[in-house]
Amino acid sequence: MNTYFLALLLYGTLLIVIGFIASRRVRTPSDFLVGGRRFGAGTLFATFLAANIGAGSTVGASGLGYRIGLSAWWWVGSAGIGTLILSQTVGPRLWRIAKEHELHTLGDYLELRYSREVRGVIAVILWLGTLAILAGQIIAIAWILSVVIGLPKWAGCIAGGAVAITYCAAGGLASAAVVNMFELAVTMTGLVFSAVYVLHGFGGWQGLTSALGALPNSSGVVRASWTGAGAKQILAYVSILVPSFICSPGLIQKLYGARDEGAVRRGIALNSAGQLLFAFVPAIFGMAALVHFGKLANAELALPSVMIHMVPRWLGIWALAAIFSAELSATDAILFMLSTSLSVDLYQAFLNPGVSPKKLLGISRMTTVLAGIAGVGVAVVLPSIIAAVTIFYGLLAVALFVPLLLGLYWKRMNTHAALACIFVAIVANLIGQYTPLKNHLGILSPALVGILTALLCGIIVAWLVPAPLRSKLSGRLNGGAKESV
C-alpha cells in the first residue's frame, strides 16, 4: 500500500478514536454546542487556530502563492487581522452577553438583540453560503488524495467528508476542542518544518526570490513583493476576510465556550499572532512549487506536490498529515455552523421551541451528518477551494458584519434597519460582481461596496424608522451599569 496513503488512513482513524473518547463528557446541548463554557486561553487558542488554518489557508493559499507570490500573505494575514479585532472588541462583549443570557449560537444573540425574523434570515443566508466553505475544505482533502494515490476528486470528497462527519457528530465542540489541540501540534510543526526545509533547499529566502525572478512573467505581478498583486487585489482580500473573521458564527460559537472574558482576549489574540506568522508559509510553498515544477495543471495541487516531491519521505508524511489535520479541524468548525443553524437557529427557534435538551442534542448530531453529506455533494460540483470559500466569506461579510457591529455598539439600531441593510448589502454585492458596474468600482471590491452600502442603509433606516418593539437585550456591555440596547 502507498506509504503516504497508509499514514493518512491511520491518522484519520486516530482522530476518530480521540473524538469518541472526548465525546464521553458530552451530556447536554451546552456541552455539545459550547463545550460547557470551560475553555481557558490555551484551549481557546488551539481550537481557534486549528479551525482557522484550513483549506483556504493551506492548499488554497499555496495555490495563490503559486500564482501571485508573496502577496498571498494577505489571504491568511487578513484573517489574522480580523481575529485580532475580534479578540479585543466584539469577542469579549459577545461573551458577556452570552454568559448572562445562556446563549449558544450567534443566532441566539441576533434574536435577543433584534427578532426571530433577523435570526431566521441570517441563518438561511449563511447556511447556504457555509455549504460552500465546507465544500472547500473537502475539496482540499480530495486534492491531497489525488496527488497521493490518484483518487478521483469525487471519491476523495466522500472519503474526507466521512472522517470529519464521524468525529464531529460524536462530541460536538467538546470533542472537537480535544482533537483540535492534537491536530494543531501536528499541523504547525509539519508545515513550518517543511517550509524551512524547502527554503534551505533554495539557499534561503534570497535564493528562492532570485530563482523566482529568473522565471518568465507576463502576469504583471511582482511575485517576490508583499504588495506585488496590487492594491485592488489586496483590498479585495482585506474587505472580505477581515469582517468575516470578526463576525464568523463558527468562531463566535467557539468563544462562547471560554470560561471567562480574559480567556477570550488572550486566547484569540494568540490565535491572531499565529495566523499572522503562518501567513508566510503557504506563500513560500506556492513560490517554491512554481520554481520547481513550472506549469501545474491546477495551482491548488502546489502544496501536496511539494510534500510528495520536494521534502524527504518522513517529512512529507508528517506534513501531509499536517495538511490533513488542517482541513479536518476547519471542517468540524464549519459543520458546527451548519448543524447549529439547523438545530438551534431554525428547528428550535421556529419549529419546536419546547424541545427537550436530550432531543436537541440528538437533532444537533443528526444535522451535523446531514450538513456534512450536503457539503460533500457541493464539493463534487465546485471547481476550486478559493472559489468555494470566497462565496462564503463574501456572504458573511456583506450580510452579517454591519448588523452585528451596529447592534453591539449603537442603541438605536433596530430590526427594520437590520433587515434592510442585510438585503441591500447582498443586492449591492451582486450588482458589483455580475453587472457592467464592476468595471467602474476602482480599487473597491464588490464585497466592500456591499458593506459600505449596508452601513449607510442601516444608519438611515434606524434614524428614520422606529423599532416596532424594544430589544429584549440588557446586559453589562461595557463592564459598568446595565444598559438597554
pLDDT in tens, 127-141: 888 888 888 888 888
Residue 93: per-residue pLDDT? 95
Q: What is the mean pLDDT of residues 177-199?
A: 81
Asked if 385 and 55 touch (Cβ cutoff 8 Å), the reply is yes
pLDDT-based confidence at residue 364 (cuts at 50, 70, 90): confident
Residues 377-404, mean pLDDT to the nearest whole number: 89
What's the confidence (pLDDT) of residue 318?
A: 86
Q: Select, from the ranges 14-18, 276-280, 324-328, 466-470, the one with the highest average predicted confidence (pLDDT).
A: 276-280
Provide the pLDDT for residue 146: 85
Say if 475 falls within a structural domain. no
At 480, the pLDDT band (50, 70, 90 cuts) reads very low
pLDDT band with cut points at 50, 70 and 90 for residue 476: very low
Taking residues 275-297, report their average pLDDT.
94
Whether residue 404 is contained in a domain is answered as no
Residue the block writes with cell 467602474: 440
Global model pTM greater than 0.85: no
pLDDT score at 447 = 92
Task: Output Rg (C-alpha) for the chain, integer angstroms.
Answer: 22
Average pLDDT over residues 442-453: 92
Can you say whether residue 290 is alpha, beta or left, with left for phi > 0 and alpha for psi between -120 and 50 degrees?
Answer: alpha
**Do residues 399 and 426 make contact, with C-beta atoms less than 8 angstroms apart?**
yes
Cα–Cα distance measured from residue 265 to residue 242, given in angstroms and rounded to the nearest whole number = 17
pLDDT of residue 34: 47
Average pLDDT, the chain: 84
- Dump strand ranges (E) for 200-355: none
Predicted pLDDT of residue 415: 93
pLDDT of residue 390: 86
Q: Which of 81-85, 390-394, 424-428 has the lowest mean pLDDT?
A: 390-394
Q: What is the mean pLDDT of residues 422-434?
A: 92
Which range (164-178, 181-195, 299-313) has the least confidence?
A: 164-178
Q: Is the dihedral of CA 142, 145, 151, 156 positive or negative?
A: negative
> Rounded CA gap, 51 and 180, in Å?
8
- In sequence order, the β-bridge partners of residue 474 are 484
Spatial CB neighbours of 154, under 8 Å, sequence gap ≥ 6: 142, 380
Question: Which percentage of the chain shows pLDDT scores above 90?
Answer: 39
Supply 30's cell numbers: 451546552
Residue 54 lies in a domain: yes
Is 376 within the bounds of a domain? yes
The pLDDT of 168-185, averaged and rounded, is: 60
Distance, in Å, from the CA atom of 137 to the CA atom of 168, rounded to the nearest integer, reads 14
In this prediction, residue 244 has a pLDDT band, given cuts at 50, 70 and 90, of very high
Distance between CA atoms of residues 331 and 325, nearest Å? 10
Please tell me the distance from the alpha carbon of residue 292 to that of residue 276, in angstroms, as a whole number. Answer: 26
pLDDT tier for residue 290 given thresholds of 50, 70 and 90: very high
User: 30 lies in a domain?
Assistant: yes
Mean pLDDT of all residues in 66-92: 96
Residue 403 lies in a domain: no
Residues in the chain: 485
Give tens-digit pLDDT for 455-466: 999 999 999 987
Which has the closest alpha carbon to 251: 140, 358, 322, 176?
A: 176
pLDDT-derived band of residue 481, with 50, 70 and 90 as boundaries? Answer: very low
Q: What is the mean pLDDT of residues 64-72?
A: 95
On the question of pLDDT at 349 being above 80, the answer is no
The CATH number of the domain where 380 resides is what? 1.20.1730.10
Least reliable range by pLDDT among 61-75, 297-311, 318-332, 413-427: 318-332
**Which residue type, as a one-letter code, is found at position 132?**
A
Asked whether residue 454 is assigned to any structural domain, the reply reads: no
Contacts of 73 by beta carbon, 8 Å cutoff, 6+ apart: 226, 279, 280, 283
* Largest Cα–Cα separation, the chain: 68
Calculate mean pLDDT across residues 378-401.
Answer: 88
Does 271 score more than 70 pLDDT?
Answer: yes
**Quick one: average pLDDT of 157-163?**
82
Q: Mean pLDDT across the stretch 54-59?
A: 86
Number of domains composing the chain: 1
pLDDT of residue 345: 74
Q: What's the pLDDT score for residue 180? A: 62
In 3D, which of 229, 373, 296 has the Cα closest to residue 59? Answer: 296
Q: What is the span of the domain harbouring residue 74?
A: 3-395
Asked whether 67 and 209 are in contact (CB, 8 A), the reply is: no
The confidence score (pLDDT) of residue 479 equals: 40
Mean pLDDT calculated for residue range 449-475: 79
- 407 located within any domain: no
Measure CA 344 to chain center. 20
Residue 178: per-residue pLDDT: 60
Q: Who's near 380: CB < 8 A, 6+ residues apart?
A: 153, 154, 157
158/160 Cα distance (integer angstroms):
6
